[in-house]
Structure formats: C-alpha cells, structure tokens
Amino acid sequence: MADVNKKKLSSSLEDYIEAIFNLLDGTDAARSTDISQSLGVSKASVTGALRALKDKGLINYKPYGMVTLTESGSRAASAVAQKHKVLKAFFMDVLGIDDDTAQTAACRSEHAFGNELIARLLCFIEFVNKSADNGNGVADEFKVYCRKRLTQNRNIVDGKNAT
C-alpha cells in the first residue's frame, strides 16, 4: 500500500514528468533549465519537483546534473503523454477546437480524466474517424452543427434572436 501512495503523482508532478518525457524525445537527458522553460516555472520549482520525482523512483537526478527517466518513470510519463494526446485529438478532431485551445484544455484535463474515460474517448475518436473514412463524415457534420448552434446560442444570449 505504501508503494502505491509513493508512486501516486500530483497534477503538478505529472506536468513535470510529461515535460521531461517530451524533452527527452530524441535526446539522452534533459536539463533543469529546459524543464523550467518548457513549463514556464522557476528553476527552484523545478528543483523541488525533480527531488520529489527522484524520491518516487521515477527519474535519475543529481543537483546541477542531467535528468533521465527510470523505467517506471518512462511508463508513467508515457501514460500521461498518451492521455494528453488522446484528449487533444478529441478536442480538435471531434469537437473542432483550435490547436491552442485544445492544447490548453488537454493539459488541464489529463489530470482529472481517469483511464476508463480516456479509453472510451479513444474508442470514440476511432469510431468517428472510421465513420469519416466510410463517407459518413460524423466529425465534419458535428462541427457544422456545432457552429450553427453556437451562433444561435450567442444570438439568444445577445438578445438578437429571443423568441
């Protein structure tokens, strides 16, 4: 039971491990300066997070040294990154949200959505894409519908179409 709690990550630590994972793409190690810039946080905040991640056995880190993921850290980071990817795809491909808004929403949502919900969203994305491939265009039809409804709703709120 203690190991389970020791491995449990806060939303903040998930952000750090995901940033490390993304920075390691194509490189051997990440620097705390790069992590700081990636997340827009102070170097002191990075140092604290790196210590916590090291204590959980998720990264290899020595002060002023490079950062690498342990095997369990790599699995944890990959899971967070996959959640992010699925959520961003859902927001963009299904809901038609722009890239920047989808990115921000995915960053916020990835911590709150459990594995079951992410798995179902992934199935839904695959279903929509498969339907689109068969000529049904479910995602495109929804985007058109959504644009119309949002315009109608804005008009009602603005008092332009109060019936």
On whether both 45 and 104 belong to a single domain, the answer is no
| pLDDT of 131 | 75
The reply to whether 78 falls in a domain is no
| pLDDT of 2 | 39
| pLDDT of 153 | 77
Cα-based distances in Å from 86 to 39, 48, 93, 98, 137: 20, 29, 10, 15, 20
Its domain, for residue 23, covers 2-69
On whether both 104 and 144 belong to a single domain, the answer is yes
Express each pLDDT in 105-161 by its tens digit: 999 888 888 888 888 888 888 888 777 666 667 777 887 888 888 888 777 767 765
Q: Are residues 53 and 6 in contact, defined by beta-carbon separation less than 8 angstroms?
A: no
**3-class SS of residue 59:** strand
On whether both 92 and 153 belong to a single domain, the answer is yes
User: Could you tell me which residue, 123 or 48, shows the higher pLDDT?
Assistant: 48
The reply to whether 82 falls in a domain is no
Q: Where are the beta strands (DSSP E) in the chain?
A: 59-60, 68-69
| Number of domains the chain is built from | 2
Express each pLDDT in 53-64 by its tens digit: 999 999 999 988
State yes or no: pLDDT of 5 exceeds 70: no
Quick one: tokens of 127?
Answer: 């279903």
Whole-model pTM: value is 0.76
| pLDDT of 162 | 47
Q: Are residues 50 and 19 in contact, defined by beta-carbon separation less than 8 angstroms?
A: no
| pLDDT of 40 | 94
The reply to whether 19 falls in a domain is yes
State yes or no: pLDDT of 4 exceeds 50: no
Residues in the chain: 163
| pLDDT of 134 | 64
State yes or no: pLDDT of 163 exceeds 50: no
On whether both 42 and 94 belong to a single domain, the answer is no
Among the three residues 14, 36, 69, which one is the final residue of a domain in this structure? Answer: 69
Residue 95, number of CB atoms within 10 A of its CB: 14
| Interatomic CA distance for residues 105 and 97, integer angstroms | 10
Among the three residues 38, 69, 100, which one is the final residue of a domain in this structure? Answer: 69
On whether both 108 and 65 belong to a single domain, the answer is no
Among the three residues 10, 37, 69, which one is the final residue of a domain in this structure? Answer: 69
| CATH code of the domain covering residue 18 | 1.10.10.10
The reply to whether 9 falls in a domain is yes
| pLDDT of 1 | 36
Mean pLDDT estimate for the chain:
86
Q: Are residues 9 and 111 in contact, defined by beta-carbon separation less than 8 angstroms?
A: no
On whether both 7 and 64 belong to a single domain, the answer is yes
| Interatomic CA distance for residues 21 and 18, integer angstroms | 5
The reply to whether 79 falls in a domain is no
Residue 106's identity, in one-letter code, is A
State yes or no: pLDDT of 11 exceeds 70: yes
Q: Name every residue whose Cβ is closer than 8 Å to that of residue 36 and which is 6 or more positions away in sequence.
A: 42, 43, 45, 46
The reply to whether 25 falls in a domain is yes
| pLDDT of 144 | 82
